[in-house]
Amino acid sequence: MSVSELSLDRDPSSRFVPWIVAALSLMCAIALGTAFALASMTADWGRAASDQVTLRVATGDTDIPALVDQVARLEAVSRIEHLPREQVARMLQPWLGDVAQVDTALLPLPALIDVRLKPGADTSELRALIADRSEITLDSADAWLAPLQDLAGLARLVAWVLAAVAVGAIMLVTVFATRSALVNQRQTVDLLRLIGAADGYIAKRFQRHGLRLALFGGIAGTVPGLIVIFFATAAARLQGAALLNGLTPSLAGWLAIAALPLIVALVATFTARVTVLKLLRASW
């Protein structure tokens, strides 16, 4: 008695469902991959920016070694380095050309002091120290990074919306396919009800069918999605821009994307069940 009473596998309305679910799963996987990769990248930016600041001291008679000593003694500071004048001059190479040809002594170069803060520490101590010293400026990445983080946040939001739209579309496809299958199988469904089948018994047949179709479609869409995410993020990192170094989903992100077929299958199962029960309960 293993044969199902409802021949849903031969239902013509289900024929294209796995492929539509596969396309939507691919879109969902890429959107999730983008969201998770952007989340990792911005977290990376935040870590790098929050623990590294630069003190820029204008040319003058400031006692740099004394300043370095003062700063090093602050609770929040883990490491400090006064950048050599030659290194500072090299930073100007894009504008001055080969600095070896230039007498840098004539240039009013500022002294740069690279300060690393302890994890979780903020710059309040440092800002208090230099508050009344107008020749010293504190440069942090926050100022230019904030708009980029806002932009990345917006891109993440768009990616999440796309993923949600894809899941919503999968639910809609399941609803339409289930309704069509129910119409095509109406006589059999009516017979099953007449001989005493509970609505839940009939719904279970449809939800199993929905689960099979969605699981197949989910796998068929997610696997290429994972490959696309892997190569796309790797290609972005290979561009060499330091900003893109963290552009890859975290391990939890990869696992979440890999679990997409199961999520899609559960969504389709639930949707098919609710659709069938709602339609059956409309009639006695």
185/222 with CB nearer another protein? 185
Q: Please, which residue, 101 or 187, has the CB nearer to another protein?
A: 187
Q: Cβ closer to another protein: 3 or 242?
A: 3
What is the rounded radius of gyration, in angstroms, for the C-alpha atoms of the chain? 31
Min. distance of Cβ 26 from another protein in angstroms? 34
Least separation in angstroms between residue 203's CB and another protein is 12
Minimum distance from CB of 175 to another protein (Å)? 21
CA–CA distance from 191 to each of 59, 156, 197, 201 (Å)? 93, 50, 9, 13
Q: Are 260 and 28 in contact (CB under 8 A)?
A: yes
Query: Least distance in Å: CB of 2 to another protein?
Result: 9
The residue (of 3 and 106) whose beta carbon lies closer to another protein is 3
In the complex, the smallest distance separating the C-beta of residue 40 from another protein, rounded to whole angstroms, is 49
In angstroms, give the least distance from the CB of 190 to another protein.
8
Nearer to another protein, 6 or 20 (CB): 6
Residue 13 C-beta-side C-alpha neighbours within 13 Å: 18
- In angstroms, how far is the first alpha carbon of the chain from the final one? 28
Q: Are 28 and 226 in contact (CB under 8 A)?
A: no
Closer Cβ to another protein, 70 or 188, answer by number: 188
Cβ 172 vs Cβ 230: under 8 Å: no
Binding interface with another protein (CB under 8 A): 1, 3, 5, 7, 187-188, 190-199, 201, 281, 284
Structure tokens at 82: 């006064």
